[in-house]
A = this chain, B = another copy of it.
Amino acid sequence: MANQAAGGGHRAAPVHTDPEEVSVLTALSAVSDPVRITLIRELAGSADWTRSCGSFDVPVGKAALSHHFSVLRGAGLVEQRDEGPRRVNRLRREEFEERFPGLLDLLLREDGAADAE
């Protein structure tokens, strides 16, 4: 009875945003973060629905991680589904590609300049 009140608990079904209604600024901001870039890359290297949130190799705690996934959902980049006690992910490749052509490729194709070298 009456969930969603105080505290937390993750069974409220993740809120998703369709890439179609995401602004360029939102998309770019979502993608301008080292941790999130890593998440996207690892996600791209795995089959859909095979990676739970905790399975990523990033140097942040659960709370921050949860936040990052929330941002990714809000940008229409990631879809989540509850599977037993864990939340599994899927990169919305095609949908996102259609809304922001080439953007995902940029992130995945990375090769050059490492920032400060």
* Interfacial chain B residues near A113, Cβ < 8 Å: 20-24, 26
B112 touches A102 (CB 8 A): no
- A24: nearest residue on chain B (CB-CB)? B110
**A106 at interface, CB cutoff 8 A:** yes
Given A32-B29, A34-B25, A106 contacting B115 (CB threshold 8 A): no
B102 touches A105 (CB 8 A): yes
A114 touches B23 (CB 8 A): yes
**A37 at interface, CB cutoff 8 A:** yes
Binding site for B on A (CB under 8 A): 20-26, 28-29, 31-32, 34, 37, 99-103, 105-107, 110, 112-115
A-B contact pairs, 21 of them (CB 8 A): A20-B112, A21-B113, A22-B113, A23-B112, A23-B113, A24-B37, A24-B106, A24-B107, A25-B32, A25-B34, A28-B28, A28-B31, A28-B32, A29-B32, A32-B32, A100-B106, A101-B106, A102-B105, A102-B106, A103-B103, A103-B106
